[in-house]
Amino acid sequence: MIYTTTLLSRGSIFGSLISKVRPLAAASLSNSSALHSKTLEEKIGLPPRPKKPLTPYFRFMREMRPKMLAKNPSISTIEVVRQLSKSWGEVDPKLKERLQSEYKRDQELYLEKRTKYDATLTEEQRSELKQLKQDISDAKERKQLRKRIKELGRPKKPASAFLRFISIERTNTPQTENQTYREWHQKATAKWARLSDEEKAVYMSESRKELDQYKKNISIWEEKMIRLGHIDVVRHGNLIDPPEPKPRKLQAAKEK
């Protein structure tokens, strides 16, 4: 079976993406001094790697932002970025040439420092960095996929019998002021364990009904997603065609 996906043309989105990303990136740059996140190297106990130099565009933003704020202290950061982003397209060629020259000089220094830094890393450290990058990339993809699934309206899996009991218990016997959630949960879990099979059956029966309905809903939803080309949100097993059923006569003959 062949499924097709809708492809977006590059020309239709690149211009709008650049116009949106540049101001947002510059806005984050303005707050970079207040926020500091650890580099991958620092997370595994290595000294931080040399930082890449600012591009001419961001050098322009760094130089002009204080001047604009001095003229208009009440202006918002986003508005500053928008105005400077627009001004960059009409900037004095001499200023742009200077910024490009400074960037080229700093880029050469950066490459020299980065080469020396990379030479100090052991194979084990390189492998650890590579794995950390992959883990971060995988986590980001999973997060984006969960967001897409939610936006596409995937049916929500019903709660188990135990979770259904816990939900009801939170209403009937809420957590007290002097009780931590962990203590309350342990108490509720112990209460569930003391329930008889007949008492648990009530919760299990409701869960089974909702689960049967969920299976029908998820099947309909996944078929719809396949038709629309959203194959990445469909469970992999459902993308494999089941084998064709064997004719009854032939199967009976083989059994004899």
Domains with residue ranges and CATH for the chain: 43-121 (1.10.30.10), 154-241 (1.10.30.10)
Per-residue pLDDT band at 197 (split at 50, 70, 90): very high
Reported as a single tens digit per residue, the pLDDT across 199-225 is: 999 999 999 999 999 999 999 999 999
Mean of pLDDT over the chain: 82
Reported as a single tens digit per residue, the pLDDT across 56-110 is: 999 999 999 999 999 998 999 899 999 999 999 898 999 999 999 999 999 999 9
**Which DSSP string corresponds to the chain?**
-----PPPPHHHHHHHHHHHHHHHHHHHHHTTTT-----HHHHTTPPPPPPPPPPHHHHHHHHHHHHHHHH-TT--HHHHHHHHHHHHTT--HHHHHHHHHHHHHHHHHHHHHHHHHHHT--HHHHHHHHHHHHHHHHHHHHHHHHHHHHHTTPPPPPPPHHHHHHHHHHHHSPPPTT--HHHHHHHHHHHHHHS-HHHHHHHHHHHHHHHHHHHHHHHHHHHHHHHHT-GGGS-GGGGSPPPPPPPHHHHHHHH-
Instruction: Please determine, for residue 3, whether its predicted confidence score (pLDDT) is greater than 60.
Output: no
Select, from the ranges 35-39, 45-49, 103-107, 130-134, the one with the highest average predicted confidence (pLDDT).
103-107
| pLDDT of the residue at 210 | 93
- Nearest CA to 58 among 91, 14, 22? 22
This prediction's pTM? 0.52
